[in-house]
Amino acid sequence: MTLTRILSVVFLLGALGLGYMLYKSVDDVMQEEKRIAAIESRIIEKLQMLRDAQIAYIATKGEYAGSWDSLRQFIEEGKIWIVQRKETTTLLAYGKEEISVSYDTLGSVYVMDSLFNERRYPNFNLDNLHIVPGSGGKEFEFFADKIERSQREIGVFEIRDPDPINPKRRLNNKEKALRVGSRTDSSTSGNWE
């Protein structure tokens, strides 16, 4: 064997090794991004469930649940009232319209049967609803209070991921952590929307 053949084989093996290392590093980054996206998807689903429960809680009790225990008890035992609203419009003699509204309570359904039924969430587990997926057992941060806006007190709530898995969401003191609601505004939207 000549020196050129030996060098050619060595360089070919080196190029194949470097190519594989490059492929592996790109593949590892892509797999990590897929893993983060899957975990964040599960976190968002839980935040949506918690938002639905908080909206039902305030509609029933007049304020947001400030802790997991009170929200859990409401989900287990609480009821949502079914109310029918009827509007009738009457044309007055001088061309104006008069609208009268009446409400009729038709009954109630349990929160568990209404919001968290088998059809909507087949794998629903109330015991794990407050646990952040992929966090190793950490709980969502719950906050509820009343703030003053235009000389009125309004209820606010925020539920957020305390320790984001995504490095981009950890920047600036976890400012972009997944959350629903707001501590400073009457909002029930999530920051992923």
Amino acid code (one letter) for 178: L
| pLDDT tier for residue 114 given thresholds of 50, 70 and 90 | confident
CA atoms of 39 and 33, how far apart (whole Å): 10
Domain membership of residue 170 (yes or no) is yes
In a domain, 96, yes or no: no
Provide the number of structural domains found in the chain: 1
Alpha helices in the chain (DSSP H): 3-61, 68-77, 111-115, 171-174
Asked whether 173 and 182 are in contact (CB, 8 A), the reply is no
Considering the domain boundaries, does residue 159 fall inside one? yes
**pLDDT value for 86:** 92
Report how far residue 179's alpha carbon sits from residue 114's, in angstroms, rounded to the nearest whole number.
Answer: 24
Instruction: Map residue 66 onto helix, strand or coil.
Output: coil
Residue 55 lies in a domain: yes
Res 187: pLDDT: 84
- Residue 63 inside a domain? The answer is yes
Domain that holds residue 130: 38-78+111-181
In a domain, 87, yes or no: no
Nearest residue to 104 (alpha-carbon basis) of 135, 130, 82 = 82
How high is the pLDDT of residue 165? Answer: 81
Alpha-carbon distance values, 15 to 5, 10, 21 (Å) = 15, 9, 10
> Is 30 part of any domain?
no
pLDDT tens profile 25-50: 888 889 988 988 888 888 899 999 99
d(CA 39, CA 175): 19
- Asked whether residue 48 is domain-assigned, the answer is yes
For the whole prediction, is pTM greater than 0.75?
A: yes
The average confidence (pLDDT) of the chain is 86
Query: Reduced to 3 DSSP states, what percent helix, strand and coil does the chain have, rounded to the nearest 5?
Result: 45, 25, 30
pLDDT (tens digit per residue) in 5-25 = 888 888 889 999 999 999 888
